[in-house]
Structures are given as C-alpha cells and as structure tokens.
C-alpha cells in the first residue's frame, strides 16, 4: 500500500545548535558564571561552533564554556554590521596566510545571525590566535555534558525554583520568581 506522507528533511545539528544559540543567547550570557562552574553545562558540545585554519592545527570544535569565556573577556566579539550591537562570533575558519576567512556570529542586540567576513579592522589571524588561547584553557567537550538543546530549560528551571531571577528569563505563569 502506497502512502503520500510528506517527506521531512531533518535539520542538520549545526543549524539547530546555531538557532538555539541565537534564540537563547541572553540566557547563556546571563548564566555564564553558573555555566562555567558546572562541567555538565560548560562542556556542552556546540556543533556550529568551530575554529579552523589549515596552517594552525586544522578544525577545532568549540565547547560552550570556551565561547562564554571568550565572550566574557571581549574576545571573539566585534560590531554587528546591521545595528552596531556586539557580534558574538562562534564560527571562524580561513587561512592565516592569505587572510581569506569566513565567520558566523550572533548579535546580542538585534539578534541577527551574521555570516561573512570579519567586521571593521579585526584581523583574522589575531582573532584566530585569541580563539586558540581560549581553547587551550577549555580544550574539549565533556563526555558527561548535557546536550545543548536541554541547557536553556535546565537554567530556566533552576532560576524559577529558588535561584535569583536574572534578566532575560521568564518563569512559568503563576510561578513566582525568587
């Protein structure tokens, strides 16, 4: 028997993770210290977060803790070309010899997903070197880490059940924030 069910194409993990970062960026930023203190949160694999340069060690996947640490230090950040907000870079690949490169980042103001070349006077090799420094401190994802998809919900539950409420989070209707 033949059926005419719609064919759905699964969304690649990298695109799903990028959408999670974009949608929940305020939550990740507001809870940065808490995430960095908990290895199960900090070690989350972010499949869209990549640093890559063929002359500097190849492609390296970036865990959530490395992104948050870099962004908290003002590294891997630049001006958003759309609104002037702070662009948080999570994907950077290219060549340090030719300077040819490609980035993906999320603006914390608009929140646009920006893809293209480094904005303004940022130089690829300098930004890549900063990213490599952060990765030496946070080398890999943790095997026991929560999936990235679960972390916004975990943080929201923690916030709504006793920890101080932070900007950008919403408790369930009728549940008091503490």
- pLDDT tens sequence across 45-57: 898 888 877 655 6
pLDDT tens column, 84-104: 899 999 988 887 677 678 889
Please tell me the predicted confidence (pLDDT) of residue 171: 34
> In the prediction, which pLDDT does 119 show?
58
| pLDDT, tens only, 119-172 | 555 667 677 777 777 777 876 667 788 999 999 999 988 876 555 444 433 333
Lowest mean per-residue pLDDT among 6-10, 59-63, 83-87, 153-157: 6-10
Query: Average pLDDT for residues 76-89, to the nearest whole number?
Result: 89
Tell whether the torsion through CA atoms of 78, 15, 36 and 109 is positive or negative.
positive
Cα–Cα distances in angstroms (integers) from residue 42 to residues 24, 137, 145, in the given order? 15, 12, 7
pLDDT, average across residues 65-69: 91
177 pLDDT exceeds 50? Answer: no
Percent of the chain scoring above 70 in pLDDT: 72
Q: What is the mean pLDDT of residues 8-31?
A: 83
DSSP-derived pairing of the beta strands 113-116 and 58-63? unpaired
In the block, which residue shows the tokens 């503490």?
A: 178
pTM of the predicted structure, to 2 decimals: 0.76
**Is the separation of the CB atoms in 115 and 103 below 8 Å?**
yes
Instruction: Give the pLDDT band of residue 174 (cuts 50, 70, 90).
Output: very low
Q: What angle do CA 110, 112, 117 make, to 5 degrees?
A: 125
Average pLDDT rounded to a whole number, residues 62-80: 88
Task: Please give the average per-residue pLDDT across 110-123, as a whole number.
Answer: 76
Distance CA 125, CA 131 (A): 10
Q: To the nearest whole number, what is the mean pLDDT of the chain?
A: 77
Q: CA angle, corner 42, sides to 108 and 92, nearest 5? A: 50
Q: Confirm if 6 and 111 have CB atoms less than 8 A apart.
A: no
Q: Length of the chain in residues, anyone?
A: 178
Distances (CA, A) of 17 to 45, 97, 154: 9, 30, 16
Q: Which residues of 76-112 are buried (b: 16+ CB within 10 A; e: fewer)?
A: bbbebeeeeebbbbbbbbbbbeeeebebbbbbbeebb
Closest CA to 65 of 116, 31, 110: 31
List the chain domain ranges. Answer: 13-153
């Amino acid at each position: 028997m033949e059926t005419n069910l719609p064919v759905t194409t699964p969304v690649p993990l990298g695109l799903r993770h990028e959408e999670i970062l974009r949608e929940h960026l305020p939550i990740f930023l507001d809870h940065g210290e808490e995430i960095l203190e908990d290895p199960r949160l900090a070690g989350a694999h972010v499949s869209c977060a990549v640093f890559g340069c063929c002359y500097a060690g190849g492609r390296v996947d970036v865990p959530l803790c490395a992104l948050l640490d870099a962004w908290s230090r003002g590294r891997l950040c630049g001006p958003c070309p759309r609104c002037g907000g702070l662009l948080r870079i999570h994907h950077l690949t290219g060549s340090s010899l030719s300077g040819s490169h490609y980035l993906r980042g999320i603006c914390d103001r608009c929140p646009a997903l920006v893809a293209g070349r480094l904005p303004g006077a940022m130089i690829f090799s300098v930004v890549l070197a900063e990213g490599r420094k952060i990765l030496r401190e946070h080398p890999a994802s943790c095997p026991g880490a929560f999936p990235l998809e679960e972390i916004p919900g975990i943080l929201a539950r923690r916030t709504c059940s006793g920890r101080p409420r932070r900007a950008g989070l919403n408790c369930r209707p009728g549940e008091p924030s503490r």
